Amino acid sequence: MDSERTVATALAGYLRQAGVTQVFGYPGESVVSFMEAARDGGPAIIAAVREASAAFMAEGAAMRTGQIGTCLSTLGPGSTALLNGVAGANLDRVPMLAVSGQVESSREQYWTHQLVDQGRLFAPVTKLAARLEPGSADTVLRKALRTATAERPGAVHLTVTTDTFGMTIQGDGGTVPPLGPAIRSLDFYGEEPPRQLRDARRPVLLAGAGAVRCGAEVALAELAAVAGIPVVVGAMAKGVLSEDHPYFAGVLDMAGHRVIWDLLAASDLIVTAGFDAVELITPWRLSVPVLHVDTTPNTDQVYPAATEVVGNVAAALSWLLASWEGAAPRWSEAEVAAHRAALREGWQAGYAAGRLNPSEVVTTVRSASPAGTVMTTDVGSHKIMAGQAWTSYAPRETLITNGLSAMGFGLPAAIGAAASGPGPVVCLAGDGGFAMTATELAVAARLGLGLVVVVFSDGSLNRIELHQAAMGLPLTATAVDRVDIPVLAESLGCDGVRVENVSGLEKALSSAFSGRVRPLVIEARIDTAQYAAQY
Ligand X SMILES: Cc1ncc(C[n+]2csc(CCOP(=O)(O)OP(=O)(O)O)c2C)c(N)n1
* Residue 458 binds ligand X (CB under 6 A): yes
Q: Is 407 in the site for ligand X (CB under 6 A)?
A: yes
Q: Does 432 bind ligand X (CB under 6 A)?
A: yes
Distance (Å, whole) CA 488 – CA 480: 15
Separation CA 8–CA 168 (nearest Å): 9
Q: Which is nearer to Mg ion, 305 or 362 (CB)?
A: 362
User: Contact between 243 and ligand X (CB under 6 A)?
Assistant: no
Does an H or E element contain 389, and which?
helix 381-389
- The CA-based angle 469-470-472, given to 5 degrees, is 60
Nearest approach in angstroms of CB 380 to Mg ion is: 6
Indicate whether 461 belongs to the interface with ligand X (CB under 6 A). Answer: yes
Which helix (H) or strand (E) segment holds residue 486: the answer is helix 485-491
Examine residue 378 and tell whether it contacts ligand X (CB under 6 A).
yes
- Give which of Mg ion, ligand X, none residue 312 binds (C-beta under 5 to 8 Å, depending on kind): none
Choose the stretch contacting Mg ion; rule: CB under 5 A; options: 209-217, 296-304, 319-327, 453-461: 453-461
Give kind and range of the element (H or E) at residue 495.
strand 495-499
The answer to whether 430 contacts Mg ion (rule: CB under 5 A) is yes
Choose from ligand X, Mg ion, none: what does 233 bind? Cβ within 5-8 Å by kind: none
Considering the rule CB under 5 A, would residue 527 count as an interface residue with Mg ion? no
Q: What are the start-end ranges of the E strands in 105-166?
A: 128-131, 155-161
From Mg ion, ligand X, none, which one binds at residue 51 (CB under 5 to 8 Å depending on kind)? Answer: none
List, edge to edge, every strand of the sheet that includes 44-47.
44-47, 22-25, 69-73, 96-102, 155-161, 128-131
Q: Which does 34 bind (CB under 5 to 8 A by kind): ligand X, Mg ion, none?
A: none
Tell me how far, at minimum, the Cβ of 247 lies from Mg ion, in Å.
Answer: 34
Candidates 298, 405, 420, 530; binder of ligand X (CB under 6 A) is: 405
The yes or no reply on residue 13 touching ligand X (CB under 6 A) is no
Is residue 85 part of the contact set for ligand X (CB under 6 A)?
Answer: no
Please identify which residue in 140, 379, 425, 438 interacts with ligand X, judged by CB under 6 A.
379
Yes or no: say if 504 and 436 are a contact pair by the CB < 8 Å rule: no
Of the candidates 138, 130, 200, 155, the one whose C-alpha atom is nearest the C-alpha of residue 62 is 155
Inter-CA distances, 131 with 105, 156, 511, Å: 11, 11, 49
Stretch that binds ligand X, among 98-106, 266-274, 319-327, 401-409 (CB under 6 A): 401-409
Give the whole-angstrom CA distance, residue 17 versus residue 382.
Answer: 39
Near Mg ion by CB under 5 A: residue from 431, 465, 495, 527: 431
Which residue among 408, 412, 424, 496 contacts ligand X (CB under 6 A)? 408
| Cα distance between residue 107 and residue 397, in whole Å | 46
* Footprint on this chain of ligand X (rule: CB under 6 A): 378-382, 405-408, 430-433, 456, 458, 460-464, 480
